[in-house]
């Protein structure tokens, strides 16, 4: 049908003439209430945004000489972050002569990852960047069982 006839028919029914595929020969059009269509599309997008969960990266910082009590406190915090579905970056900061003993920091990070192994998977092996050595842990499942 011609474009003029299609537009007349749309006006009679109180609808809009929307080009679906304008480059096709002949162009493909559809009769619809465009305002209602836009409203429903925005509503669907808003609902989709509401249901998505943004994964944050939480950071835990330690030093190579950390004591067992402090280590356990940081471990509990990391497990709580992982249970919420977030990623955790665990960093060991070396100061002064501690740079000569980076193996202590590596062992500390690997022990930390091993303690979190039931909740998380180790993304990267310990990596030394300047005076900081870090690992990334990501939760095995999105949310923990309530």
**Fold assignment, 57-139:** Translation Initiation Factor IF3 (3.30.110)
Ordered by start, the domain boundaries in the chain are 3-51, 57-139
Q: How far apart are CA 119 and CA 142, in angstroms?
A: 10
Least confident range of 46-60, 65-79, 89-103: 46-60
Task: Name the CATH superfamily for 3-51.
Answer: Translation initiation factor 3 (IF-3), N-terminal domain (3.10.20.80)
pTM value is 0.59
| Each residue's pLDDT tens digit, 25-55 | 888 888 888 888 899 999 998 888 877 777 7
Nearest Cα to Cα of residue 33 among 2, 5, 10: 10
Q: Is the pLDDT of residue 96 over 80?
A: yes
Nearest Cα to Cα of residue 30 among 44, 45, 42, 18: 18
| Each residue's pLDDT tens digit, 4-22 | 888 888 888 888 888 888 8
């Amino acid at each position: 049908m011609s474009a003029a006839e299609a537009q007349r028919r749309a006006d009679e029914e109180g609808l809009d003439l929307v080009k679906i595929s304008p480059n096709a020969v002949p162009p493909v059009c559809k009769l619809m209430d465009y305002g209602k269509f836009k409203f429903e599309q925005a509503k669907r997008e808003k609902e989709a945004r509401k249901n998505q969960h943004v994964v944050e990266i939480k950071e835990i910082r330690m030093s190579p000489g950390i004591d067992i009590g402090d280590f356990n406190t940081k471990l509990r915090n990391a497990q709580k972050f992982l249970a919420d579905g977030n990623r955790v970056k665990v960093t060991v900061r070396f100061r002064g002569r501690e740079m000569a003993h980076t193996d202590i920091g590596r062992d500390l990070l690997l022990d930390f990852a091993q303690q979190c192994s039931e909740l998380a998977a180790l993304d990267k092996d310990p990596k030394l960047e300047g005076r900081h050595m870090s690992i990334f842990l990501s939760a095995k499942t999105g949310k923990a069982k309530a």
